[in-house]
Amino acid sequence: MDSITAFLSNIVENTDARTSEGGSPSPAPRARFVAAHDFPLMPVGQACDMGHAPDGTPLIDPRIFNAPEFFRNPYPYYKIMRDHYPVFFDKLHNCYYVTRYDDITTCYFDDEGFNTIPKGSSSGVLGNTQLELSGVEHRRRRNLYGQHLVGKSLDNRLHAIESIGEEMIADWDNLDESIVQDRNGVRSVAIGRAFANEFPIRVVCDVLGFPKESRKKFFYWYNSMMSGLGGSETHHQGLEARQDLEDYVGTLVEERRAHPTYLYDAAGNPIGKDIISKLCETQIDGDYLSTEEITSNIALVVGGGGETTRGAILNMWYLLLQHPQQLEAVLADPETMWDVAFHETLRHSTPIGGQPRHNSFDIELHGVKIPAGSLVNMVDFSANHDDRIFKDPEVFNIFRPDLYSGKLLRSGYRKEGRCSHMAFGVGPHLCPGAWISHQEAVIGSKILQRHLKNPRLNVDKMPKDFDGSLMPIGLISAKEIWIDYDLN
């Protein structure tokens, strides 16, 4: 599909465009309410006119949040919110949006006021995860597996990530023409289907300790559970996949408690037990973890380590290929610049939109009273484009001096005029898969670089915007990118 119509029809089918039943528009007077489909498509970076208050303040019609226009061109609307409604109450969806970098950072660190994601939002498909916990209980459960995804434990797995990537690229010669096409010494490859979609799933499968023969089932569990989140039409399929995963893990748990399995270094020497084996011997308050608890931890790692990495790889290559000088700089110094490109990609076009929270008690922020128990969306998309923090935030620029591009820190980074992006959040609930996602995306891209000689975007195969230009990433990570490269 290379047309704006096909792209937007897919968005409309997967978004809730219903009107509010018995609701009322946002507090300020506004122009007419329109159906979500009726918001005109605007040039990227320019907002459509939703009316103005008597003092000239631009208004926000909450139906824009369901509109295809918002999905492809969100940032001018977030700017209106940051400048005029830093805490925006959306009566249509009965939730609040916090959009400024400083406010979101403060809320993420407030483990009393904004301590958990909404109850039940993850337990349906993923199970009873630590996402819905706070304080001591959250830290204890997070540390059950988090220790295996950072530091030396992660470094010991780098060779496995390398071998998986090389194995996948070696198989490109066997893929059909819908994915790989060779013409006159030039190969066109759909990087998503040929590499990025499955690469992080294979890595997570290996790190967790699943047998290789379970790989196909692992893809089914992942895809079904991810598509089943959020109460969608595929929620039932997600629940079925979650139960199938738990049944399979139950068998593994019985085996691993008696006979743990190990991960090995490049020389074939054991470097420690895999995560499933470690979870099988873990105790809390004197009791071993149940199969359901182990499955929930596995499901959380699967969810956190898959979609983020897939989106980061595709977005990073899509953006770099549209900025040849920046791509040249990355290819000339891969050991340093792929890390820099990863951070700027997640600032500019993160696959992770933000984190919902429930506030524990009444809170007032920017003059807006947020009653206890409200749904509050921390909009990381907006924080990453806050021009109070990042100069010219709509511009993709790996050379920007105001972005921190070092090691990911749970405390975040704000020093000497540089700030970390907010793609993984900060504070107690920073994404537990952040470090492995970083490693996967960077190592995967280095592997691609070794094989893609003279890479360039196949513009003819890429989706187009309404004006004929390449489709912007917007709120949805690139679904697919076609890259041409020389075979000789």
Look at residue 252 in the predicted model and tell me its pLDDT: 86
- In 20-120, the DSSP E strands lie at 87-90, 95-98, 114-116
Contact by Cβ (8 Å): 295, 276: no
Look at residue 179 in the predicted model and tell me its pLDDT: 97
pTM comes to 0.85
CA distances from 325 to 112, 329, 330, 453 (A): 46, 6, 9, 16
Q: Give backbone dihedrals phi and psi of 95, rounded to 5 degrees, phi first.
A: -150, 170
Look at residue 16 in the predicted model and tell me its pLDDT: 34
Residue 149, helix vs strand vs coil: coil
Look at residue 12 in the predicted model and tell me its pLDDT: 35
The correct CATH number of 74-175+194-307+352-406 out of 1.10.274.10, 3.10.580.10, 1.10.630.10, 3.40.50.20 is: 1.10.630.10
Angle at 179 between CA 168 and CA 181, to 5 degrees: 105
The residues of the chain scoring below 70 in pLDDT are: 1-37, 115-157, 228-233, 302-305
Which DSSP string do the residues of 194-228 spell out, in sequence order? Answer: IIITTHHHHHHHHHHT--GGGHHHHHHHHHHHHHT
What are the residue boundaries of the structural domains of the chain, listed by start? 74-175+194-307+352-406
User: E strand or H helix at 128, and its extent?
Assistant: none
